[in-house]
Amino acid sequence: MVLAGRSYDEVFGRFRWQIPAQYNIGVDVCDRQAADARALIYRRADGSVEEYSFGQLKKLSNKLANVFEGHGLLPGDRVGVLLPQALETAVAHIAAYKAGLVAVPLFTLFGVDALGYRLRDSGAAAIVTDGEGAARIASLRAQLPKLKLVLSIDGAGPGAGDFDTAMGRASDQYRPAATGPDDPALIIYTSGTTGPPKGALHGHRVLLGHLPGVVFPHNFFPQPGDLFWTPADWAWIGGLYDVLLPAWHYGVPVLAYRAAKFDPEEAFSLMADMGVRNSFLPPTALKLMRQVPDPGRWGLDLRSVGSGGEPLGQGLLDWGREALGVTINEFYGQTECNLVVGNCAEAMAVKPGAMGRAIPGHEVAVVDENGAVLAPGTLGNIAVRRPDPVMFLEYWNQPDATAEKFRGDWMLTGDQGRQDEEGYFWFVGRDDDVITTAGYRVGPGEVEDCLAKHPAVALAAVVGLPDPVRTERVTAFVVLKGDQTASEALATEIQSFVKTRLAAHAYPREVRFVDSLPITATGKIRRRDLRQGAMPERPA
């Protein structure tokens, strides 16, 4: 749908959406590809490599779709996918889409609280996971009355069936559901500032909506020899819909490998060894890679690198050209409406600090609180006009929150910014309190809720404070119960409590003990005061 051109105006002017009346993501990324074409290259931690063709993906996903149906799952039922980058992760998604089910990606580092909330809220009927995930789900089973099926790729266990056994009994023939572009396909939970996370429900058209935002920032992807990899987990929209599924739409192979912890030298080595040509590297990954001396020793052969989540400055862009051999194309979006602004070094000038211009096919503007478009240079809300194929259908079971997201036909992103005379967008800051840390978006409400469960905590507030590597570090301001004494040991205990119960990326890297918290007249925490350092700290 995106045609190459010599200028931004040419590309934007020639673009037209092509959304068919019947469309299924699973069929698109698998069944219509050449059966013998290479689809997935799976690099294991021990260095061994396995390759899978689109024909193998088709048979495996057909089998799993039959397993789902055999256990009574019906179109519209939700399927949790709690796995890292792996063959089974992709198969579970494709099978769910083919069967008309709704996939719910789940991050493997989620603790029981975070995992339990998402499974209860979505009403998941099935889950595909590994042994570790199955054990966590077993502890939650009493809270999940709608759960019919748990399959573990590590074999049967308490409350979980063996994935391989189930697949071995199933037919590899399957007739996919005749879904339309607006039929539900995916729920991805997004962070919020108040209350629990919200589930952004997307239709099958969401993949088609992502394509321009992949083609454009990756310098008119695909090109002969392209091979895609990202360290971003496939549980997030950046890994799943910025890389894996768009690549397979175009028949381009994807490398699957995600270490337990990002190692910048390993990233260089991996991309060189495996011949990676295209990569989505979050800003935190780039900052860590920038610290590695003499990156030229790996002899990378990259064609395109995209990044998003925070502005890239002149220094990082200059480093990218020298160390990676390409201009890093920054892009912008969010779970509800992804990849709507971006750069393409082959079609336009890249301005350091600017997110880029509207991706072809999307209408983006800066508006005021009433949805009126503001003049260039004026600070306001970055917004996207509906209808738009990449835009979410609604927040799952939250009609009021869905309505609040819009001003007329403009969907407010929740980000403040400005647009210059040439159409470039400049991010200024969030108009809420979501924390961006190491490429993840963390909602303070969820962390605060977990902190409140610690027996020593009376009150807690969470904010993001500037961090040179992570962008922001999750920082907790804690008021202790009367019988508790502040100490470094208690701070460490509180950190561990949140890390194990919520998620490893969301726990507070810093705990500050205070005597009280700044509260508004209506009882809301004034997080701005905390970010600005207005609170005296109680010594530990």
Please state, in angstroms and rounded to a whole number, the distance separating the CA atoms of residues 252 and 60.
19
Residue 521 has pLDDT above 70, yes or no: no
pLDDT tens digit string along 446-482? Answer: 898 899 899 999 889 999 999 999 999 999 999 999 8
Please state, in angstroms and rounded to a whole number, the distance separating the CA atoms of residues 456 and 489.
12
Single pTM value for the model: 0.89
Average pLDDT over residues 190-202: 81
- Other Cβ atoms less than 10 A from the Cβ of 333: the count is 26
CA pseudo-torsion sign 317, 213, 199, 67: negative
- Other Cβ atoms less than 10 A from the Cβ of 496: the count is 11
Tokens of 369: 């609180």
CB under 8 Å to 104, separation ≥6 — which residues?
78, 79, 80, 81, 118, 119, 122, 124, 186, 187, 188, 189, 199
Query: What percentage of the chain exceeds 70 in pLDDT?
Result: 96
Phi, psi of 346 (to 5 degrees): -85, -10
Confidence bin at 442 (pLDDT 50/70/90):
confident
8 Å CB contact between 93 and 117:
no
Residue 194 has pLDDT above 60, yes or no: no
Return the residue matching tokens 């909602």: 443
Please state, in angstroms and rounded to a whole number, the distance separating the CA atoms of residues 409 and 203.
18
Residue 540 has pLDDT above 70, yes or no: no
Which amino acid does the sequence have at 239? Answer: G
pLDDT at 443: 80
- Other Cβ atoms less than 10 A from the Cβ of 318: the count is 12
pLDDT tens digit string along 14-70? Answer: 999 999 999 999 999 999 999 999 999 999 989 999 999 999 999 999 999 999 999
Average pLDDT over residues 206-234: 97
Residue 186 has pLDDT above 80, yes or no: yes
Question: What CATH class has 435-531?
Answer: alpha beta
pLDDT tens digit string along 149-178? Answer: 999 999 999 999 999 999 999 999 999 999
pLDDT at 539: 54
Please state, in angstroms and rounded to a whole number, the distance separating the CA atoms of residues 43 and 258.
9
The answer to which of 7-21, 182-196, 338-352, 443-457 has the lowest mean pLDDT is 182-196
CB under 8 Å to 456, separation ≥6 — which residues?
480, 481, 484, 490, 493, 494
Query: What percentage of the chain exceeds 90 in pLDDT?
Result: 82
Conformation bin of residue 76: beta by default, left when phi > 0, alpha when psi is -120 to 50: left
Q: What is the mean pLDDT of the chain?
A: 94
pLDDT at 526: 83
- 445 or 415, higher pLDDT: 415
Paired sense of beta strands 435-437 and 440-442, if any: antiparallel
State the Rg of the chain over Cα. Answer: 23
pLDDT at 445: 79
Return the residue matching tokens 């894996």: 244
pLDDT at 396: 98
| Closest among 125, 169, 171, 122 to 149, alpha carbons compared | 125
- 304 or 539, higher pLDDT: 304
Q: E strands, 95-197, where?
A: 102-105, 126-129, 149-152, 161-162, 184-190
Confidence bin at 358 (pLDDT 50/70/90):
very high
Phi, psi of 381 (to 5 degrees): -90, 125
Per domain, the residue ranges of the chain are 435-531
Please state, in angstroms and rounded to a whole number, the distance separating the CA atoms of residues 457 and 450.
10
| Closest among 505, 472, 447, 443 to 191, alpha carbons compared | 443
